Amino acid sequence: MIRFFIIAVAIFSILLMNLSCSSLLKGTQPEQRKVIVPSDDVLNEHADEIRMRYGKLKILSLDEIPEEKYADYKNYAHNGSAYVIVHPSYYVFFHNYDRKAKVVVERPRGDFSKNIVDIFVDDYPVGKSKVLQRMKDSERRERDFLKKVSAKGKLLILVLPPDYLNHPEYPYSKLDEFARYVNEATGAAPSVVYVESESYKHGNMTMDNMSRLNRFLKEAGVTTLYVGGGYVDLCLRDFNDQAHNLKDIENVEVIQEICTDSPDYMNQGE
């Protein structure tokens, strides 16, 4: 009888433990990522405006530029310098939206007057969240910097996540909002180029892209890199560490004003 009781208690304990684990796992499962898909009637009604504002990236990738053209970029490398932004607007477009301080920016129905970053910076409510306010401030500074440097015709290199349209957290695959933002922020200036990082989780490049960037910078007469972007201590650090190994670069300087911290590293209790 005692033996039967012990066995019964053991079975009940196992069932209870399994139930608790299932509940716990269910409670910690990430939400399915949100995908922004405009309705067909909106797409049809605003077809002309969408055709004008959306499309592919209009800035060149380094692997699209013939090596014999690298030297032409000396015209933009003022005093032998170039600017690098690692993973621009990563928070708005690629951050893990299932974490704290998540944000998926949606435009007002049928209103295509602003790109997604402008909507976030100008219109997205932050309530009492100091983290969201800090992210808005960071995005504003980075956006304004991109506009200023591009308008002045200075050499600007963007380090973009690879194959970003298939990034697991990218919610704008129907209308490519990231391409629109980059094209508008840079004005698709000829002084702006991009190279892809090895992965969307890191800011370092493959050996091939590293070698290509090294040749490009050498032919463009660049000896100093001014670096910003995000996230500090993550992708930005990856690129910064790798940049110090570029053969002909004498100085790598991080511009703190245009660097972005990950919201996951901020004090969420602020």
Q: Inform me whether the pLDDT recorded for 224 exceeds 90.
A: yes
Q: Which pLDDT tens digit goes with each residue over 53-85?
A: 999 999 999 999 999 999 999 999 999 999 999
CB 246 within 8 A of CB 217: yes
pLDDT in the model for residue 27: 34
pLDDT at 33: 66
Reported confidence tier of residue 30, pLDDT bands at 50, 70, 90: very low
Tell me the fold of 31-265: Rossmann fold (3.40.50)
| pLDDT of res. 196 | 97
Task: Give the domain ranges of the chain.
Answer: 31-265
pLDDT tens digits along 99-141: 555 688 999 999 999 999 999 999 999 899 898 999 999 999 9
